[in-house]
Structure 1
Amino acid sequence: MFGLAGLTALVTGAGSGIGAATCTALAELGASVVVADIAEDRCRQVADGVRERGGSAEVMRLDVTAEDDWRRAVDVIGAGLGRLDILVNNAGICLNVPLLEMSLAQWRRQQAVNLDGVFLGTKAAIPLLKAAGGGSIVNVSSTSGLVGNGGGMAGYSSTKGAVRLFSKSVALEFAPFNIRCNSIHPGIVVTPLWQKLFPDDPDFAVLTDDLNIPAKMDRHIPLGRAGEPREIAASIAFLCTAEAAFMTGAELVVDGGTVAV
């Protein structure tokens, strides 16, 4: 069960957080992983960790907003690894800016990374997925793509909601080619993204790897703690396995019960 031996996976935003944990999870199931990020030094660290555990990993610098980077990525994968079976569109940013203070440049930058990057990656990868006889695309959205958020999150929520419906449309369009596409919706997870969002807020400054979140945060998460990157990664990995072969166009929520309230 849950094997990915002989398959090749590309993970974006893989230098830290959920992306890094996903590379580890996929490699542990036997996949050869392409660790892609704009921060090539962090990719090397992640790849080294995968190899230390006996996995296979290649490093790739990739700006998900640049179409030329995506063309180069699939060319390199096709020529060097011979196939692509899994694409995890994980790269994303969150600009916590009130709507009336947000510039058009900030709006477009967030859209470029969070939405254009998913579009460009999916478009570039599908020919290789077709050639492999099918495959799995997992687009990392957010609970912010399911429910609205105030406090400067309108721009972020709009991108993540778009990723959700984009995923469903891709699922329908490419089902005849055995290409599955699902979105995953994490809640609050201990990653650098959350710490960057609120660098001066003591309630968020304690979001560290020991998961000691304050009572203020507890009240928003029924399970009483933030998620760990490995927990999201495990769900992503499941969506890539044959055990999820009948899942496409689905949205998998991993949030400790937050949106159930």
Structure 2
Amino acid sequence: MKKIPFKPVFSSLLLVLPLSAHALDQWASKVAGFSSQFSTTSWSAAQALKAPNVNTYSDNSSAWTTETYDAGKEFLTLSFTTPVYATGLTIRETYGYGFVTSVDVIDTSNIVHNVWSGTDTSSPNQINNFLVSWPQTAYLVKSVKIHINTALHSDWEEIDAVQLHGIEPLNGKIAPRFEHTANLKCSNTTTAQTINTTIKGSGKTAPVTEWDCEKAGLKINTGDTVSIQITGKIAQ
């Protein structure tokens, strides 16, 4: 019996994805640091994670507070599940008021950026969802660092939850095994911007190819309609 030599067969791939850039609001999911906490359980830094669970203005152990009150400058650093191009932060103050002094964001390269410094305009004797806004960042934000001053008022200051506002990155992975490279076309039909670039195939051993339109240079705002087109030769 004659042996028939194997020859790889190649075919082309055309993938078109009509997408819509949208905002993502997410509660903090992990404690990344703090200056102090009242204990490791009640009033701990972990109490500021996830959705709010303090519903009345009160000294409540389900919120974070510092080890002592009137100690001066303190901070809380929290991380989020999905890095985003950040536009703002909501800090839920459930006891005390007006104590936030500045906000830093930390990008995916661990660089710290100050995005807000000013006066916390929260009102006394009520729960405040203090919203801090800034222009959309050009980098992906994974964590925030909230600076507070506990010496402004003679009482405890407590934070129940923290929500990051931003826009999800437009990137992803594709399973077909590109032989060498593929063409990536990213189009923002709202602004009429188009970016053409190439993405590198991962070969047969690791059949995943990554693409990222923002890294390629596409500018995207909330609500923009975006089209992704990938063409290339894949190994069978």
TM range (shorter): under 0.3
Structure with the higher fraction of residues in helix conformation: 1
Give the TM-score, by structure 1 length.
0.25
Give the TM-score, by structure 2 length.
0.26
Quick one: higher RCO (CA 8 Å, sep 6+), 1 or 2?
2
